[in-house]
Amino acid sequence: MNVGEELELTAQNAVYGGDCIARSAEGMVVFVPCMAPGDRARVRVTHVRKNWAKGKILEIISPGPDRIEAPCPFFGDCGGCQWQHISLDGQRRAKEEIVKALFRPLGLDSKVSSIRGGAGGCGYRNRLILPVRAGEDGKPRFGFYRASTHDIVEMDSCLVQNPALWTVARSVIELAREYGWSGYDENSGVGMLRHILVRHSPATMESGVVLVTAGVSLPSGKRAAARLMEKSRNVVAVMQNVNARRTNVILGEKTVLLGGLPYMNEKCGGLRLRTAPAAFFQANPGVTEIMLGILREWAWDERGGILDLYCGGGLLGLAAARNAAWLVGIEEERRAVSDARANAKSNSRIKTAFYAGPVGKILPKMASRLGGLGTVIADPPRKGLAPAVLRAISGLPARRLLYISCDPSTLARDLKSLVSCGYSLEEAVPLDMFPQTYHIEVMARLTR
C-alpha cells in the first residue's frame, strides 16, 4: 500500500479517536475520518505505517445505515465534532462497543451496562472556550481550531453549545473590537486576548465570563465588564485570567475580578452550588443529572466516610454523602477548594473537610488518618490515576471505589491495576456526555 493509492473500502466500526476502521483487500487496517459504520467509500491513502494506514474519503459510494447529513455547516472543517455525520443512536451504539472492546482484554466487557444519554445531541454544552488569534490584517479572529491544527475557523455560533453562551460571546467580541483588544499570535507570543471563556447555567440562568489575556494589560477592562453586565443581565461575573506562558494550556495562575461576583450560582442534583466561571464543571447538565442519580444509587447505604478525589467544587462528594458520617475532598485547584467549602456549608450537615494540593502528594500522607472510610470517589483528569494515587487507594480501608472517567482507555489501564489490588468491577455505565464527538464518560463501581 502506498500514499496516494485509491481504494474502495467498507467501514466496519467507529473507534476511540473518531475515525472508522476499514480493511484493505490484503487485510491492512485503514483509519478513515468522517466515515460511518457500513459506508462504502472511495478513499485516498494519506499515511502508511507498518501495520496500519490512514485515508481520506473522496466519494461515498453507498452510505451505511447510520449515516446522516451533518447539521452543522462547519463540520469537517472545525475540529470540535467528529461524529455529526452519524445518527445519535449510531453514536451511542459505537460508544458502548468502544468501552466493551477496551474492557474485553481484561475479561470485564460483560460488566458494561447499556449507555445512557440525554434527550438530544445539540445545544447541550454549558461552557464555551473561544480562541482569539491575530489575523493577517492585524484584527482579532474568533472561532474554533481546524481539525488537527491551530488555524482558526471563524464562526459566531455552534450547534452543540447552549445558545445563551453565544449571545454573551458575541457581546464580548463586539467590545473587544471596540476597545481594540488585539488577538494573540502563538508564534511570536505577541497580542492581548488569548481566549474568551463563557459559562452558563440553564438551571439558574446565570452566566460568567473569563477573558484570558497574555499579560496584565487589558485597556478599559472594568469598563467593558460593566457594559457587558448592563447589556447581558444574566452575566453575574466577569474575570480576567492572565496566562503569559508560551503554552497550549488555556488558563494561567492569576485571576482578577473585573465586575460582578467572583462566582456564579448553579443548581444540580438538588444541590445549590457556587462555582467560579473558569472552574471545571460537567459539560452536559442533563447527563450530569443522570450521573448524580447513579452515584446516589451506588452510595445510598454508605454510613461511614467518603473520600472525594479530584473533587473540584465538591459536586460528586456532596451528592453521594447524604447518608455518610463524613466527607473529605482533595483538589489541586485552590479556587475550586474554596467553592467546595462554601458548597458544603450550604448543602451538607455532616462533617466535611477539603484540602488543596495534588492528590498524589496529599493522599499518601493522610491515608492513615482515614479510619471509618467506606467509599472512595475518584474523578481524575483524562490521563487517569497516577501510580502514586493507585498505590495509596489500594492501601485504604474503603470497601467501595466509584471511578468516574472521561477517557475509557485510561480507565481500562487503571482497572487492571485495581483488580490486581483486590478490587472487583461490579458495573460500568457509559454516559453520552459529549454527543457529536467520540468522547465518552464512564462510571465504574468497584468493591472488595
Catalytically active residues, by annotation: 406
Can you tell me whether residue 394 is helix, strand or coil? helix
Would you give the distance in Å from CA 28 to the centre of its chain? 33
Please report which helix (H) or strand (E) contains residue 195, including its range. strand 193-200
Name the pairing type of β-strands 326-331 and 305-309.
Answer: parallel
**8 Å CB contact between 132 and 176:** yes
Packing angle of the helix pair 88-103, 408-420 (nearest 10 deg): 30
Alpha helices (runs of H) in 372-423, residue ranges in sequence order: 387-394, 408-420
* DSSP assignment string, 236-264: EEEEEEE--SSSS----SEEEEEEE-SSE
Q: What's the first-to-final CA gap in the chain, in angstroms?
A: 50
- Residues comprising the chain, all counted: 448
Nearest to 204 by CA among 158, 263, 255, 157: 263
- Dihedral angle at the C-alpha atoms of 173, 157, 154, 43, nearest 10 degrees? 160
> 371 near 328, Cβ under 8 Å?
no
